Structure 1
Amino acid sequence: MKKKAIEKIPYLGLKKTSRKKDVKYIGVTAVKIVGHEKHLFLEVYRNHKGSKDTPEVRIVLTKKDFGTYWPEREEWTRKKAETGSYGGLIWAERINTWQQAEKENVLQSTEDLERIKKFCKVTVYREERWWEYINRHEDDIVITERWNREHRKYMRRQEALADRMAHTEELPEKKILERANRVYFQNEHYLYYKKHGSRAKIACSKCGGVTDARWRSGISYESQFQRWTEEPREGRYGTCPMCGARGKYKCQGKVKGTSSKSISLFLGQKYKENGMVMRYVEVEKKWILGFICGDKGVEMHNACEELSGTEIARAYFEPGKKTQIDYLKYNPYTGKNFWDDCNLHGMENISIKAGTVMQETYEEMKETMFRYSALQEYAKSVGELNPIDYLERYIQTPQIEIMVKMGLDNVAEKLVECYYGIIADQNARRPDHFLGIRKERVKQLIRKKGDIQLLEVMQMEKRQGQNWTDEQIEHLAETNLSGVQVEMATRYMTLQKLLNRIEKYAGCEYGTECGSASERIRNTATTYTDYLSMRLNLGYDLNNTVYQQPRDLGAAHTKMVLETNKEEMDKHLKQAAEKYPEIRSTYRSLRNKYFYEDDSYIIRPARSAEEIVMEGRLLHHCVGGDTYLSKHNTGKTYILMLRHKTEPDVPYITVEIDARNPRIIQWYGNKDGKPDKENMQAWLDAWLMKLKTGTLTETIQTVEIEIA
């Protein structure tokens, strides 16, 4: 469309306005030749004497294009006549109904309508909505353009796909299958058997023959001349009596027709001048046992093996180009496979699994852009891998070659998995600059094979401008503390003191390589730094060693939690007291019924709802929830506190007892544990017996359990 030429064409003008009050806009049309092509001009004017010369909008249509010109702004757009919303037109305000739109927007004459119908050649339900002819013609143009654009794009993709296939060597399928059977399946065969007394029938999956032989000597003279074989047993290896192949015995009764194994292989080949294609092949081996109906029932027949390979995907790498992966798909309508340049969608997505890279790949790689990629060294360190992912990361980050060759296997593995947060400077050439650590730390990191936790501590050391010892770095890595936690703690103590205190509180030594010990050290480190952080936030002076070194870390941490949450806790306690007032009012009567003490322990009911809530918080269990509070408040069950007599205010064990039938429903200590379980269970059983018999005034002797 020649827009400059169209702008020079004078406006059609509105000959006369309409006297109808409802009419707001009047359309005027004309067909003109511009650049040897017919153009339909539609100009929409306001129904006002002062707007006869300049339209609100000029819409120009051709057979294959359209444009909207706004005279006031002197601007061209591709807006269609309808805005898309109900009753919306680009030149008019919002219209509530179609009837209103028909009244407010009219054409100057019937000739204008005929001109529009003849040019647009579309069908409209009501001619009064004449703008729909324009809008549908514009829709047809947009849809056609989109289809043509997508078709051109598709054809370019198909041409590129055909070019890739033409430059891809033929897959050496026979060689791959032989290699897979020999190396990966290890020429595995099955010997299916069925015993009949001292005889056995053996079907070999390699030769397909069925042998009837004796595996145990008989008493008859003829038995010594019969065919012999070893006794077949499930899972053991034996020899086929017919072909001599070694195979694993499988009982006929445990075989369900077919069994199979599959492996994933990658074969890399040179592509064009300096590129490479990595081909993903899935090889499957099936062992099939057939059955026929014989004189004595079902008999084994025609055991065989099937070895097949299917190329699933091809990844093409070329210098300076984006990696292209083609996939093999199946067309259910034609019943044929075909190659496509995109994957399937959703649950049907074709996945490329980790597998083994064939040795031929490394020879081919020497003449490609990946000659220095260190893929072979990486494959040796990790075993099975997806080389496509590795090569994509290598293109993005060539330093991965150095990481692999230096033995930083864990670092390389993280980079392949796209964990780029461990990189300090992606453009750096030296490993210490690349990883953001001190130069002297590289050897230590190599000894640990690029351990990620150790790397993070080394990065922390450099960020904080510290110079720690090798032992401190390894111990700090074991604590799994973050840089913020370490920086906060080391403002008030040395790093060595921090590590020593964590080790002391944990009760475990560093470097034991024991999973439970390492977990305990990590939990203790988190608890200790959390305790210090809460102390600091509450305004305590951490230069005071009393605050730095609490005697009981767990109790001190709990105290800080309560103090930190005091305001919220007070609010919650107040709500619990208001919601469950009967707990406090019934305390005296319940105390007379359940209270008891001896030389070691004391048990009593909860004094109030607040005490039950605090019991749950301090012992880290759920007794402070609404369920238990409601039961106690309504008299269904009661919450009792069992504590050491020497420390009657320190929570130890919480007991829930049935209010109607004297029985202990449950009892738990800290974190839903059962401290001194055998002794405490015996003590509670004795207390419950006295409760039932009404003899709680007598002394309960603490039961001592000897553990051999």
Structure 2
Amino acid sequence: MKVAEEEEINRLVEMTPPLPEDFKSWCEKQMKRPLIYYRRNGKEAEIKCAACGKTLYAKTADMPEYGTLQIETPRKEHPARCVYCGNQSFYEWMYVKRKELDDKRFYLYQLTEDKTLVIRIFDYNRTSSVDRIMDESQTEVARFFLEYGQVKKLIRLYTYKGDEYAWCLKKTAGYPYIQVIEGKTFPGWEQTVKESALKYCPLDELVNVVRSHFTQNYKPNVAVIDALMTYANNPAIEMYVKMHMDKLVSRLVWRESIYGDVNRKKRTVNGQLKLKKKENINRLVKEKGDPELLEILQYEEKMEFQWKPEWEDLFRGKWDKNTEKRITRMLKYMTMQQLVNRTWKYTGELTDSAKGKGEFWQTFLEYSDYLRMREELGYDMTNEVFIHPKDLDEKHQEMVKEQNARKDEMTIKKKNKEFANIAKRYESLCKRYQAAADGYIIRPARDAGEIIMEGRILHHCVGGDNYLSSHDKGRSTILFLRSEKKPKKPYITIEIRGTHIVQWYGAHDKKPNEEFFKKYLKDYEDQLEQREKRNDRVLVAAG
């Protein structure tokens, strides 16, 4: 941890107010009370409280002559009270051994001396059972410091170095992350917010906008915290609320205002939205601040384009940085009007229906991929035949095959260099392992590339680095069994060590004509062993 970061953590910890005296007892009251277990034997009852662990032996009220202590007859799920600790709960049968678990999240709002709003987050855990006295723990997992213009977060993390939990400072999105989940908030938080530096936050409006956008499943206390952090990070969100840009407001709250398409350091609408043209601002307001339209308009202004609204609609719902890169590449070879017209032509369905737009998008992806592959493969991109092919599907497939072949070529060249001993050992391995019989031949691999292609064609794993390395270092050898009539066509792959065949497989890890080749390869092994014994370099044909 850097010195400056450690100093900032210490400063934030020191400025945190002490806990209210009644906070812990308030949390305890929100938790599920430990059950009181019982076992009855006629008119007698054994009663055990999971809160204090003490056991009471008593007579029921209708037989007072058997004891001075009288109780109501215990019954499952009826109210119960421990006479020792006062625990008020419910009865449960004593033979029920399951653990009773209760986990809750609590939030506490406090103010520092400089009116910074601190939201402290606690996890409370309580466990009990008939055989285990109540065990409970309260852990503060995070502190959010909401200042005017920024949010700082302290998150408690386990450190292996110190073998303990310690505070970690968090200023941006990403790890470490503490999720704001449904929980209960300590009473009085509304007044605390009003007295803080965030007193002008349009909290109710923000919460209503967000909950209506993300449905009512967005819990109130979660929405409140998200809204406050959003306002703290970017107080200008008040402008967007007044302009009824609800979609943008929801996106900002979802991201706590850490949203790259809005420059929260600026103080004007134009500056924050990165839009210079008034008509674009008006369009965005009309569309309730649609974030995707914002990104498209920003792109248009950056590239000095003026698109038709129907062009923008084609990419609404699909726009991201990747789409932006695709369009930028395509516009090197055509105008936007040509891009749209040609894509619709390849789509073959000139309609603005949802189905038509979906097919337009798929065709756009195919067209952009085709042009990218043409460019990467070094074609003359001034040739209109390449830019605007008659059959996009056919030419796209051609580019895929050519690019894969180029990648295969580069991969094989790299692997041949990395595992050079495979080629060097080829001749000596031929003398040892090469054989022919019954219309089949067996020979070793010529180089690493041949092993890789064998694996790809037969769809098994022999082309992996572990097999290449093993063959390269002489730990085992890869052999090919093929038809004499088609010696170039892969059929069966063999891994052998010395004279022992470790495994053999055909396409898709299956064994073709298994009974025949099982005997064939056993005969082959026997002849290898005989040759090793004679120390003879002439291999008798198998079969």
TM-score range, shorter chain: 0.5 to 0.7
Distance (Å, rounded) in 2 between the aligned partners of 1:387 and 1:434: 25
CA displacement, residues 74-109 of structure 1 (integer Å, 9 cap, x when unaligned): xxxxxxxxxxxxxxxxxxxxxxxxxxxxxxxxxxxx
Aligned residues of 1:595 and 1:604 also touching (Cα < 8 A): no
Give how far 1:248 is off.
Answer: 8.2
Q: Assess, with a 3 A threshold, how the Cα gap between structure 1 residues 427 and 636 changes in structure 2: closer, same or farther.
A: closer
Work out which of the residue numbers 527, 552, 557 in structure 1 matches 2:400.
557
> Does 2:108 correspond to 1:266?
yes
Q: Residue 681 and residue 630 in structure 1: after superposition, are their counterparts in 2 closer, same or farther (change >3 A)?
A: closer
C-alpha separation between the residues in 2 aligned to 1:239 and 1:511?
63
Say which of 487, 497, 500 aligns to 2:328. 487
Deviation at 1:560, TM superposition (A): 1.4
Report the CA distance between 1:374 and its aligned residue: 4.1
Residue identity opposite 2:318 in structure 1? L
Counterpart of 1:361 in structure 2 is: 189
Q: How many matched pairs?
A: 449
Task: Confirm or deny: 8 A CA contact 2:36 2:89 kept in the other structure.
Answer: no
RMSD: 6.3
Name the CA distance, whole Å, in 1 between partners of 2:57 and 2:482: 76
* Matched residue, 1:107: none
**TM-score for both structures, normalised by structure 1:** 0.46
Q: In structure 2, do the counterparts of structure 1 residues 207 and 583 end up closer, same or farther at CA, with 3 Å as the change threshold?
A: closer
- Pair 537,288 (structure 1): closer, same or farther in 2 beyond 3 Å: closer
Structure 1 residue 536 displacement after superposition: 1.0
1:561-600 maps to which residues of 2 (within 5 A)?
561-563=404-406, 570=413, 573=416, 579-583=422-426, 590=434, 592=436
Q: Aligned to 2:512, which of 678, 683, 702?
A: 683
Determine if contact 1:189/1:246 at 8 Å carries over to the other structure: yes
Specify whether residues 251 and 388 from structure 1 end up closer, same or farther in structure 2 by C-alpha distance, changes over 3 A only.
same
Return the offset for 1:583: 3.5
Find the aligned partners of 1:427 and 1:526 in 2 and give their Cα distance: 36
| C-alpha displacement of 1:265 | 0.7
Confirm whether residue 399 of structure 1 aligns to residue 236 of structure 2: yes
SS of the equivalent of 1:628 reads helix
**Contiguous gaps of at least 5 residues in structure 2:** 1-6, 61-69, 157-161, 171-177, 525-543
Q: Which amino acid aligns with 1:349?
A: W
1:638 counterpart residue number: 478
Q: Mark the CA change 1:617 to 1:289 in structure 2 (over 3 Å): closer, same or farther.
A: closer
Structure 2 counterpart of 1:472, which letter?
A: L
Structure with the greater alpha carbon radius of gyration: 1
Distance 1:587 1:530, change over 3 A: farther
The residue that corresponds to 1:370 in the other structure is 198
Aligned residue identity for 2:512 = W
Please list, as runs of the form range in 1=range in 2, the aligned pairs for 1:96-245 lying within 5 A after superposition: 173-174=21-22, 177-178=25-26, 180=27, 185=30, 188-193=32-37, 201-204=46-49, 228-230=73-75, 238-242=77-81
Structure 2 Cα separation of the partners of residues 326 and 310 of structure 1: 10
Q: 1: distance between equivalents of 2:274 and 2:449? A: 54
Structure 2: distance between partners of 1:430 and 1:475: 24
The alpha carbon displacement at 1:161 in A equals 11
Counterparts of 1:682-701 in structure 2, within 5 Å, are: 683=512, 685=514, 688-689=517-518, 691-692=520-521
Distance 2:230 2:312 in 1: 31
Which secondary structure does the structure 1 equivalent of 2:375 belong to?
helix
Relative contact order higher in (CA < 8 Å, ≥ 6 apart):
2
**Distance of 1:578 and 1:191 partners within structure 2:** 73
CA distance in structure 2 between the partners assigned to 1:445 and 1:558 by the alignment? 46
CA distance, structure 2, for counterparts of residue 424 and residue 435 of structure 1: 7
Q: Within 2, Cα distance between the matches of 1:282 and 1:640? A: 65
Aligned partner (choices 252, 257, 260) of residue 412 of structure 1: 252
> Which whole-Å deviations, capped at 9, do the CAs of 1:210-240 have from their partners, x for residues lacking one?
566999xxxxxxxxx9965445xxxxxx224
- Asked if the contact 1:281–1:313 (Cα under 8 Å) also holds between the matched residues in 2, the reply is yes
CA contact (8 A) 2:422 2:446 kept: no
Contact 2:38 2:92 in 1 (8 A): no
Runs of at least 5 residues in structure 1 that lack an aligned partner in the other structure: 1-153, 216-224, 232-237, 292-299, 329-343, 514-520, 598-602, 669-673, 675-679, 696-708
How far apart, CA to CA, are the structure 2 residues paired with 1:532 and 1:248? 73
Q: Which amino acid aligns with 1:282?
A: F
Gap change, CA 1:241 and 1:567, over 3 Å in 2: closer
TM-score w.r.t. structure 2 length? 0.57
Letter of the 2:22 counterpart: K
Return the letter of the residue paired with 2:78: T
